[in-house]
Amino acid sequence: MAVQTPALPVRPAPRSARPIPPRRRPAAVAPWLLLTPAAVMLAVFIGWPLLQLLIMSFQEFGRAQIFGAAPEFIGFGNYLAVLGDTQFWLVLARSVVLCIVCVTATMILGVLIAVLMTKLGAGMRLAVSIGLLLAWAMPALTATIVWGWIFDTRSGLVNAVLTAVTGTDWTGHSWLIDPLSFFAVAAIIITWGAVPFVVFSVYAALTQVPDEVLEAAALDGAGGFGRFRHIIFPYLRSILVVLLILQLIWDLRVFAQIYALQTIGGVRAETNTIGVYIYSVSMASGDLGAGGAISVILVVIMLVIAGYYIRAMLREDKA
């Protein structure tokens, strides 16, 4: 006959072994506290002036308002006047073409010099870096004055070299009086000042490319162009997109180089870009309302360019 063992009493689980209900994590306050100073600075120094500019673009704001008269709200009158002005579209097209030429030259030269720096020895790399830093550190206005001396009509280095090389007297030839040669000189100055930033950024990215992968590709028979296209370029794609967007924004609103060259010898009416045109309309003509409308249109164009960059970055993050 089977003996039944008595059932043991069930003891309650100790308090420490019971599941603890999840607690709500406190909201992260530290990131917002760290972002607050930057947000305040952006709001004060960028947001508020931009708001004032937007308000001014809907007003009739001329010399009388500068001296205390109350501005008159005219709605989209300034925008309609600007968009209906053929001079605005001519200046905008001129600025876009100059921007495309400068950005293309800057990106190509920047990448080529960065690749060249990876092949140089330590001493030559240091010398090239110092030269690039000096070009980058020079203010735009100072650089334009120096380049103006180089292209000077009577005692410029370019005319002297051309006279010695070609045997033709180039003394007295003006490079700034003709709009085409004026923008050629402007493109050289803008590109010369922008290349160092691209070089240093791309060179820093090139140092992150694994040497083992490049050596394996070389052993497989890949040439220099093939290694750059299939291995190096994917590492550089994200930084190149950032540099491209930044260069488009910077070169589209270029002001100091164009204004200084016009002062040296260019014909202002035929060489205005959008930055100088805004200054001429606002300050020289005294129509701050129209100048504000042009500025807002330029801001919208830059926001569209920046929006493309943000979408590209978000797309890469999702991928």
| Domains of the chain by residue range | 74-318
Buried b (16+ CB within 10 A) or exposed e, 103-112: bebbbebbbe
State whether residue 23 is helix, strand or coil: coil
> 233-252 and 179-206 helices cross at what angle (nearest 10)?
140
pLDDT in tens, 251-302: 998 999 999 999 888 788 889 999 999 998 888 778 889 999 999 999 898 8
CA 117 to chain centre: 23
pLDDT over threshold 80, residue 8 = no
Specify the CATH number for 74-318; select among 1.10.3720.10, 1.20.120.1200, 3.40.50.300, 1.10.760.10: 1.10.3720.10
pLDDT digits (tens, 9 = 90+) for 28-50: 788 888 889 989 998 898 889 88
Residue 62 is classified by DSSP as: -
CA 287, 290, 293, 298 dihedral sign is negative
pLDDT at 297: 92
Asked whether the predicted pLDDT for residue 93 surpasses 80, the reply is yes
Cut 0.85: pTM above it: no
Measured CA to CA, the distance from residue 290 to residue 292 in angstroms comes to 5
Scanning the structure block, which residue is given the tokens 């500068």? 66
The proportion of the chain whose per-residue pLDDT surpasses 70, expressed as a percent, equals 86
Give me the residues paired with residue 60 across strands. Answer: 72
Report yes or no: 191 and 221 within 8 Å, Cβ to Cβ.
no
Comparing 90-99, 106-115, 225-234, 274-283, the range with the smallest average pLDDT is 225-234
Q: How far is CA 43 from CA 49, 57, 134, 175, 246, in A?
A: 9, 20, 33, 44, 22
What is the Cβ-side half-sphere exposure of residue 103, based on CA atoms within 13 angstroms? 21
Provide, rounded to the nearest whole percent, the portion of the chain with pLDDT above 90: 36
Residues 297 and 54 sit within 8 Å (Cβ to Cβ):
no
pLDDT tens digit string along 177-209? 889 999 999 999 999 999 999 999 999 888 877
Alpha helices, H only, the chain: 30-42, 48-56, 63-66, 77-83, 86-119, 122-137, 140-150, 157-166, 179-206, 211-219, 224-227, 233-252, 256-264, 268-271, 274-279, 288-318
Specify the pLDDT at position 22.
Answer: 59
Q: Tens of pLDDT along 131-165?
A: 999 989 899 889 999 998 999 888 889 999 998 89
Query: Is pLDDT of 317 > 90?
Result: no
- Provide the b/e sequence for 152-177 (b: ≥16 CB within 10 Å): bbeebeebeebeeeeeeebeebbbbe
User: What is the average per-residue pLDDT within 9-31?
Assistant: 61
Query: Left (φ > 0), alpha (ψ -120 to 50) or beta: where does 125 sit?
Result: alpha
Whether residue 314 is predicted with pLDDT greater than 80 in this model: the reply is no
